[in-house]
Amino acid sequence: MAYFIQQLVNGITLGSIYGLIAIGYTMVYGIIGMINFAHGEIYMIGAFLSVLTFTMLGVTGVTWIPLALIMVLLVAMLFTSAYGWAVERVAYRPLRGSHRLAALISAIGMSLALQNYVLLTQGPGVKAIQPIIRGGISLYERGNFTVTLSYVQIFIILLTVVLMAIFATLIARTALGRAQRACEQDRGMATLLGINVDRTISLTFVMGAMLAAVAGLMVTLYYGVIDFFMGFVAGLKAFTAAVLGGIGSLPGAMLGGMLLGLVEAFWAGYFSVEYKDVASFGILVLVLIFMPTGLLGRPDIEKV
């Protein structure tokens, strides 16, 4: 039981990170119908920026943790969103209106390029930082096994909840959110009604990149180890999460991320660490067979 609760906590933490990345995929897919393959790389860049900023703060002597966290969050979000914007502007916008595969190949190329760009500029080695947030709460003790909820986990889960709330308000209440939903439904009509579609799509990428940067920060805090290749598997998982939840649906992305995080944590805890990726893709296949549009996705209307 104690072990179960511990895996539950770990799974929710992991799921929050996946969910935040998955939102970037699902928003882009919803609005322009393409798989933004480079999104995993954006998350990786977010993690690198977090490590860089932490290092700089450490050298300059900012030691008050809340201030440091806020500064890192802002810096990482700002610069990562610049990358998200630039990727869309350079590699995807010129291909809008051409066939789907062209954009996909362009995205794969961009993903390769970004990965190797970071490899070249930051070096191939693993970057490790000291744990920033230490300690935790013991929830439950039995025998020699203690269930701990570390402060990092609390921080990650709380930050995810806060971001989700901000995000949901943004989509539901603001003009930008309305424009995004309009573009998702019918881009041509949205243009006719005076919505700047290009700008809306750019902002969608910026928002996705910001959330990915937060996920990058979280993973830096949680594991403390990053490398240039981390974006690929994380991106794959997050996309799986988005599909699992029903692609195009924002709550679905979060739900899918949570589900994937839990499956992975429990599988790693009870069966084998090596096959956890197999388990998550297996779940994906099972869900898609029985619910072809994902958990919360809308069924497609087939038109002749």
125 scored as a contact of another protein (CB under 8 A): yes
The stretch near another protein (CB under 8 A) out of 175-183, 203-211, 260-268, 285-293 is 285-293
Rule CB under 8 A: choose which of 67, 70, 74, 90 binds another protein: 90
128 scored as a contact of another protein (CB under 8 A): yes
User: Got the DSSP string for the chain?
Assistant: -HHHHHHHHHHHHHHHHHHHHHHHHHHHHHHH----TTHHHHHHHHHHHHHHHHHHHHHHT---HHHHHHHHHHHHHHHHHHHHHHHIIIIIGGGTTS-HHHHHHHHHHHHHHHHHHHHHHH-SSPEE---SS--EEEEEEETTEEEEEEHHHHHHHHHHHHHHHHHHHHHHHSHHHHHHHHHHH-HHHHHHTT--HHHHHHHHHHHHHHHHHHHHHHHHHHH-EE-TTHHHHHHHHHHHHHHHH-TT-HHHHHHHHHHHHHHHHHHHHHS-STTHHHHHHHHHHHHHHHSTT-SSPPPPPP--
Q: Which is nearer to another protein, 125 or 188 (CB)?
A: 125
Q: Provide, rounded to whole angstroms, the least separation between the CB of residue 145 and another protein.
A: 27
Q: Which is nearer to another protein, 118 or 201 (CB)?
A: 118
The binding track of 264-283 with respect to another protein, each residue x by CB under 8 A or -, is --------x-xx-xx--xx-
284 scored as a contact of another protein (CB under 8 A): yes
Cα–Cα distance, 139 to 2 (Å, whole number): 9
Rule CB under 8 A: choose which of 114, 163, 203, 268 binds another protein: 114
Rule CB under 8 A: choose which of 21, 91, 258, 263 binds another protein: 91
Rule CB under 8 A: choose which of 32, 77, 118, 214 binds another protein: 118
170 scored as a contact of another protein (CB under 8 A): no
Q: Which is nearer to another protein, 33 or 189 (CB)?
A: 33
74 scored as a contact of another protein (CB under 8 A): no
100 scored as a contact of another protein (CB under 8 A): yes
Q: Which is nearer to another protein, 35 or 211 (CB)?
A: 35
304 scored as a contact of another protein (CB under 8 A): yes
The stretch near another protein (CB under 8 A) out of 64-72, 90-98, 151-159, 164-172 is 90-98
Query: Please, are residues 76 and 50 in contact by the beta-carbon 8 Å criterion?
Result: yes
The stretch near another protein (CB under 8 A) out of 41-49, 148-156, 189-197, 253-261 is 41-49
Rule CB under 8 A: choose which of 5, 74, 105, 165 binds another protein: 105
Q: Which is nearer to another protein, 66 or 274 (CB)?
A: 274
Q: CA dihedral in degrees (250, 251, 252, 256; nearest 10)?
A: 110
